[in-house]
Structures are given as C-alpha cells and as structure tokens.
C-alpha cells in the first residue's frame, strides 16, 4: 500500500517517529513537507532526524505562514510519479492546500483523507466555506484529533467515515522520567515551566500573576517565543518577579526532552477565545511522559488529555492556578503520585506506536485490505 502524506507539521524532527512507525506496518510511505514553516515564533526549518523506512522529501510552498492560502509547487508531478493508493492530507478542510491535494488525488484515482484539530464550529466567508463544503462531500475519510473536533465536522454535514486519533503521539523512550523521582531531586527553587508559543490565548500572563502569589523559593521557566514576549517581560518587572523568571528561546525539537527534566511542574493556562480553544496541548503529553506533574486550565481538550493524571483549574482563574501551584510546591508526595499517573496515562493512550497503528488501520479500511 502506497501512501503519500502532505504535512507541514512533520518538519518537526521528533514527530517523524510516527512516520517510522507507520512504515513498519507495511506502508510504503512518502512524506512531503515544506522546507520550512513560518508562525508566531518565526521560521522553523525542516529537522531531518527520524527517517528510517520511508521517504521524507521537501516540496516548495507558496504563501508560507498563511494558514488558509498556502499550497505546494510541483505536487501534481509527485503524485503522478509515486502513484499513491492514498493521499493523507494533514490539513484542515477549509485550507487551499487541502483542496489542491484532494483534487489531485481524485484526478490520480487515489483515495484521500484529511486531518483536523478544529474544535469550534466556525463559519467562514467565501471562498473558504465553498471549499470546505466541496472537500466534505468528496473526501473519502476524515481523522479528527479529538471527539470535539469530530463533532464539529458531523455538525457541518460530513457523513463519511471518521476516526478520532491524535495527530502525533510521543516517544516514551525520548521523553522519559529522570532516574530520581520528583520528591528526591535536589531542585531549589521549585521550578514551574511553560513551553510553547508566547501568544495571548495561551494565558502565560496568568501564570506570572499566579506565581507572584507564591511564598518560599520558586522560579518560572518560559521556553518559547512569540509576539507577547515583550509584554510578559514588562509584566514580570511590574510584579517584581523579573529575577525569578528564566527565558529560553524556542529550541530544536531534539533538545526538548532535557527541558522537562529542569521542571517540577508544567503549566498550560490556555484561554478560550471566539476563534480558538485548546485543541490538544502536546506539551502536556511530553511532560507527563517525562515524569513532570502537569497543571492545565479547562480550555478545550486539556481536561481530556490530563484526565486524573494532573491538576485542572477554571480557565482565567489566577487564584485557582496559584492554589494548584502551591499544592505542588508544598507536597512532594503529590508530585510523585502525579508523575507516576502521567507516565502511565501516556503509555496507555498517547504513544507514536498507538497513533501509527490506528492511522494504519484507517489506511487499510480505505484500501479495503486487512494487511
């Protein structure tokens, strides 16, 4: 079975573990990615790290950084040369790249599927709503990252087969706990971490407000970049905690596992907005796999990802977040318990192997084969 996957997300090296796992399941896989992708953090270039058993190739992209309008140069030739049975489009159905790949797949006689994180029932103006309806009528399969995303597409009229599978899992060998449990680490001060985009909807300003309410020895470690960085610097200064906040620019994905080992807790204080709510929170899974207790708001998918393996607070509540941090700061046994539960939850639900197996099952269903 030949599968061509089009995925800008797979420029991230650690995500390529899923592609290796798919290839081990009897799939002849060609993954096409842009040479780089632009977002709020800047421009991220392809990290070619895990490439065993499949082909990872670049394809030029137009309108890099434009979520809705980007598309690929030379895709028709690649599809014609590879002759895939299935085209896996790692894009939302309202994006031009999806329409392009779906039209070319149908022209080549290949089945096609899209992947979606969209968990809000948003209405788009023309031509995006037209293209979305066209894609929903013609695609052969859909994969949604969460149940809430699946519900969106059913509500919008998609009647075809649909599977709920996260886009990526995590590698439990790469992201693993240190040998010393949280309660025994000689970590002083108590280190609270945030890893991700520095944008308003991620709620990092709430984390600074909550941390400023803590007593004793503590620090906040922020790993990431984005348009809110200057405002967060100014906020830390106003709160008189500038000396307790450590800043680390975004790092290559292969360097990320070591970041978690510097933390006593990871926080994802996301805030729901009219056009966005937390779609998954990959850093939660990486932290849990790494034996780091997690604290998350109740925005979007966060409670479903964390389950009983972390602490959840009402989004926007500085007081509730501060209380959760205070509990972790003062209770090493709680930190150990959540570390164990988090690791177990990842092994049970969120590994690359599990995601690859479920994705390969979708391919087999599309191809009408059991092998």
Q: How confident is the model at residue 361 (pLDDT cuts 50, 70, 90)?
A: very high
Q: State how far the Cα of 360 lies from the Cα of 21, in Å rounded to an integer.
A: 9
Distance between CA atoms of residues 355 and 361, nearest Å: 10
What's the CATH class of domain 2-169+351-367? Answer: alpha beta
- Reported confidence tier of residue 170, pLDDT bands at 50, 70, 90: very high
Give the pLDDT confidence of 219-248 residue by residue, as tens digits: 999 999 999 999 999 999 999 999 999 999
Contact between 184 and 197 (Cβ < 8 Å)? no
Mean pLDDT over 287-294 rounds to 97
Quick one: pLDDT at residue 188?
Answer: 76
CA separation, residue 131 to residues 119, 126, 290, 327 (Å): 18, 8, 41, 49
- Candidate from 44-58, 281-295, 357-371 with smallest mean pLDDT: 357-371
pLDDT in tens, 104-126: 999 999 999 999 999 999 999 99
Assess whether pLDDT exceeds 60 at residue 182: no
Residue 352, φ and ψ in degrees, nearest 5: -60, -40
The answer to whether domain 2-169+351-367 and domain 182-349 are alike in fold is yes
Mean pLDDT within 365-370: 81
Domain residue ranges of the chain, discontinuous segments joined by +: 2-169+351-367, 182-349
Identify the helix (H) or strand (E) that includes residue 53: none
* CATH among 3.40.50.2000, 3.40.640.10, 3.40.50.1820, 3.40.50.150 for 182-349: 3.40.50.2000
- Nearest 5°: CA angle at 223, between 244 and 227? 100
Asked if residues 270 and 201 have their Cβ atoms less than 8 Å apart, the reply is: yes
- pLDDT over threshold 60, residue 66: yes
What pLDDT score does 295 carry? 98
Contact (Cβ atoms closer than 8 angstroms) between residue 93 and residue 108:
no
Strands 71-72, 86-89: parallel, antiparallel or unpaired by DSSP? unpaired
pLDDT on residue 369 = 66
Are 232 and 206 spatial neighbours (Cβ–Cβ below 8 Å)?
no
Question: Structure pTM?
Answer: 0.90
């Amino acid at each position: 079975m030949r599968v061509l996957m089009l995925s800008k997300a797979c420029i991230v090296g650690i995500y390529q573990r899923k592609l290796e796992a798919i290839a081990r399941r009897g799939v002849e896989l060609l993954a096409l990615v842009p040479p780089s992708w632009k977002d709020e953090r800047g421009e991220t270039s392809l990290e070619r790290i895990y490439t065993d058993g499949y082909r990872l190739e670049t394809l030029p992209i137009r309108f890099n950084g434009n979520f809705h309008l980007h598309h690929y140069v030379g895709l028709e030739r690649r599809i014609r040369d590879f002759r895939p049975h299935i085209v896996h489009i790692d894009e939302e159905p309202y994006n031009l790249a999806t329409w392009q790949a779906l039209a070319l797949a149908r022209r080549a006689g290949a089945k096609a599927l899209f992947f979606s994180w969209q968990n809000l029932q948003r209405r788009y103006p023309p031509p995006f709503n037209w293209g979305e309806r066209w894609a929903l009528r013609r695609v052969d399969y859909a994969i949604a990252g969460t149940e809430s995303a699946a519900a969106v597409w059913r509500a919008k009229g998609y009647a075809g087969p649909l599977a709920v599978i996260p886009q990526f899992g995590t590698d439990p060998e790469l992201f693993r706990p240190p040998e010393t449990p949280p309660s025994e680490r000689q970590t002083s001060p108590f280190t609270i971490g945030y890893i991700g985009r520095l944008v308003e909807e991620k709620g990092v300003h709430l984390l600074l407000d909550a941390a400023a309410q803590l007593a004793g020895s503590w620090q906040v470690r922020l790993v990431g970049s984005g348009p809110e960085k200057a405002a967060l610097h100014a906020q830390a200064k106003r709160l008189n905690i500038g000396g307790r906040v450590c800043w680390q620019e975004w790092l290559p994905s292969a360097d990320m596992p070591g970041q978690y080992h510097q933390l006593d807790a990871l926080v994802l204080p996301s805030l729901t907005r009219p056009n966005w709510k937390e779609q998954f929170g990959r850093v939660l899974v990486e932290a849990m796999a790494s034996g780091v207790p997690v604290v998350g708001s109740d925005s979007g998918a966060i409670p479903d990802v964390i389950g009983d393996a972390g602490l959840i607070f009402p989004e926007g509540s500085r007081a509730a977040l501060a209380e959760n941090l205070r509990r972790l700061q003062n209770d090493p046994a709680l930190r150990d318990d959540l570390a164990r539960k988090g690791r177990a939850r990842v092994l049970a639900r969120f590994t690359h192997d599990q995601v690859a197996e479920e994705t390969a099952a979708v391919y087999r269903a599309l191809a009408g084969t059991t092998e």
